[in-house]
Structure 1
Amino acid sequence: MVGSSSQNSGRRRGPKVATRTLISYLTLFVLLLLSFVPIFMMISMSFRDSLSIYGDFWGMPWPPKWGNYTFALTDLFVPILRTMYLCIISIAGIILFATLSGYAFARLAFLGRRLLFFLVITMMTIPGMMLLTPNFILADFLHMKNSLEGLAFFYIGSGQLFAIFLLSAFFQSQPEEMFEAARIEGASEFRCVRSIAIPLAVPILITIGIMNFLSIYNDLVWPTLIISSPGLQTISMALANYAPSAGNAIGQMSRPDLGIITSGYAVASIPLLLLYTFGMKYFIEGLTSGAVKS
């Protein structure tokens, strides 16, 4: 009797669970489609000219205007390279200093270690917008305004907190025996970092690099405050000011060319798409690498 009653209750719950699962998948599918609408519209508009967009906003891009991408790539190629340079030097500095700091917090015993790590955690709770004014005053005092290296200096500083937190947690999850064996063989702490800690932390270092790349590449507020020269604009600044005039055989239009502008957005998204395509595997691996203590 007990077995039959449990089977009957299981049959009653079965259709309900299946219905809930179906509703969940349908909801997720609808949300996925809605999230692709802006991307589809951007790609569609990037192959059209302003006249066709203003005349029929929802029209299809036929015939496609491939010249829009030529104009956009010509105008935005240098800002993209400039931003890539800024991202590379910033991420290199973040990884270098955060690796040493995270290892020190995780593996070295020194006076005030717990207090300093508590301060790191505490500073992570401060909103970044509250630091704009003091950082701007500091940049002016250090004569780092209107400089890509000055931008990188503050990106390196702001990226330290979360990177130190992740790396410290990762290094603490690794077995102490490996480091003790290396010390017994005569390895210094720097050798332990270079030969043991860094090779083990490659996935999480890639994760830190990807997260900071997205943040730096898309940042508009801080570069706008620091950079005043048009020749030093990052890609976000260039896109914010990108408004080529629409023209035809008769003359120029008073409105900006939406086709070239949206093609500029598409061109600027290429580095991010490549980063997601080739780095997502390592990004997920880095996020889960310290989840289970060895």
Structure 2
Amino acid sequence: MKLGWFPRGIVVAVLLILLILTLVPLFLLFFLSAKDNLDVLIDFWGIPAKIKWENYQLAFEAIKLSLCHSLFVCMVTIFGSLLFGSLTGYVMARHTFPGKQLIYIMLLGVMMIPGILTIVPLYSLIVMLKLDHTFWGLILPYVAGSQLLGILLCRTFFEGIPNELFEAARMDGGTELYLYRKIALPLSVSILITIGLVTFLSVYNDYLWPLLVLDQSQQTFTVAAVNLSSGGRQDIGLTFAAYVLGSIPTIILFSFGMKYYVNAMLNGAVKA
């Protein structure tokens, strides 16, 4: 009995230590966001004599527009990547056509190319199409890149759906669009939410591409948050307060979508 409890106790202790180490940066984020520069520089670890709640008000005023820009770009990108990724995945899973396997291998090859290597030619293409300084210059490359994950996961998932479901619907006169909307999509909710969460994180946290494409009035949250501590200003409390406010959409999204994300991961994100 004791021998069985002891290893389990070690595992629990290690997990608790890892949890504490994970929460330490979050604690510091909240802790420093409530201090002014003088408190931070004089006594970094000390408890501030007065919590500076004004940091949150000033930070919200500074980032509210850019936060809306980020959420708009994320929502449009998620919609586009889910639509095109699931449609392409459905076609590649349920239909046979010449060059199908070659196209799939090419898509996998594109996913293996580091994004940083494509920035210069992609930016040149955006400028040539006159999409620079527009949100479409930001969104279209995001959709083109993020749908690759959707194609990979949706194709594998749709292949695991019993073919009898599709045949029965076809016998009742169902069209391909009907099969896609009424059978494939409802059974793949966990996969679609997983793709949406991953896409949201990658787009919302991106800094370099918005910095290159958009001008100052169109900046997204990541660029605006970094700009708070640039240009000779170094208000640590204000900057950290902006980071806290910027993390709220991510926390809310994962609070509602985590169970679907975990379910997809437990099923390998590839099985029905």
TM-score (norm. length: structure 1): 0.87
| SS of residue matched to 1:256 | coil
Query: Quick one: which of 6, 14, 37 aligns to 1:50?
Result: 37
Which AA in structure 1 matches 2:19?
L
Query: Quick one: which of 227, 234, 239 aligns to 1:261?
Result: 239
Query: Quick one: which of 219, 239, 242 aligns to 1:233?
Result: 219
Query: Quick one: which of 203, 209, 216 aligns to 1:216?
Result: 203
Query: Quick one: which of 40, 45, 54 aligns to 1:67?
Result: 54
Give the superposition deviation at 1:19. Answer: 4.1
**Aligned equivalents of 1:238, 1:259: Cα separation in 2:** 15
Q: CA RMSD in A?
A: 2.0
Partner of 1:5: none
Q: Does 1:163 align with 2:150?
A: yes
**Aligned equivalents of 1:20, 1:175: Cα separation in 2:** 43
Q: Determine which structure has more spread, i.e. the larger CA radius of gyration.
A: 1
Partner of 1:251: none
TM-score (norm. length: structure 2): 0.93
Partner of 2:263: 285
CA 1:125–1:73 in 2, change beyond 3 Å: closer, same or farther? same
The structure 1 segments of at least 4 consecutive aligned residues displaced by more than 6 Å after TM superposition are none
Give the superposition deviation at 1:18. Answer: 4.6
Q: Does 1:193 align with 2:180?
A: yes
CA 1:155–1:43 in 2, change beyond 3 Å: closer, same or farther? same
Structure 1 segment 78-97 matched on structure 2, within 5 A = 78-97=65-84
Unmatched segments (≥5 aa) in structure 1: 1-10, 246-253
Percent identity of equivalent pairs: 37
CA 1:72–1:292 in 2, change beyond 3 Å: closer, same or farther? closer
| SS of residue matched to 1:204 | helix
Partner of 1:273: 251
Give the superposition deviation at 1:292. Answer: 7.7
Task: State the aligned residue count.
Answer: 272
Give the superposition deviation at 1:285. Answer: 2.1
**Aligned equivalents of 2:251, 2:33: Cα separation in 1:** 17
Which AA in structure 1 matches 2:217?
G
| SS of residue matched to 2:108 | helix
Which AA in structure 2 matches 1:286?
A
Q: Is the 8 A contact 1:42 1:266 kept in 2?
A: yes
Give the superposition deviation at 1:87. Answer: 0.4
CA deviation string 1:86-132 (max 9, x = no partner) = 00111111011111100001001111111111111222211111211
Q: Is the 8 A contact 2:157 2:270 kept in 1?
A: no
CA 1:186–1:71 in 2, change beyond 3 Å: closer, same or farther? same
Structure 1 segment 61-210 matched on structure 2, within 5 A = 61-210=48-197
